[in-house]
Amino acid sequence: MATKIIMFTKNECPNCKRAKHFLGFAPVEIELEERNIDKDIDYKNEADDLGIMSLPAFKFENGNIVRGFEEGKIMNELGL
């Protein structure tokens, strides 16, 4: 069963691009939903409500949030 992740991104975000690339090579199945805060104000409002001030940010299906491209924390959330 795939791990569901909501990834908050924005335009012109080099770490967002690196994070998507990183997740593409994860050794576990991932269902990634990207929410670009520059393209949809509702996504920006959701990120604000979650206290996200640094992008990329990842909301896992268990409710945990990783702010920033923290590879170790992301891997930990994926059980790796």
How many domains is the chain partitioned into structurally? 1
pLDDT for 70 equals 95
pLDDT for 67 equals 96
Range of the domain at 47: 3-8+16-77
CATH number of the CATH domain containing 38: 3.40.30.10
Check: CB of residue 9 under 8 Å from CB of residue 55.
yes
- Long-range contacts, 27-30 (Cβ 8 Å, 24+): 27/80, 28/3, 28/78, 28/79, 28/80, 29/1, 29/2, 29/3, 30/2, 30/3, 30/4, 30/5, 30/78
pLDDT for 2 equals 85
pLDDT for 1 equals 77
User: What beta strand segments (E) does the chain contain?
Assistant: 3-9, 30-36, 57-60, 65-67
pLDDT tens track, the chain, 80 positions: 789 999 999 999 999 999 999 999 999 999 999 999 999 999 999 999 999 999 999 999 999 999 999 999 999 999 98
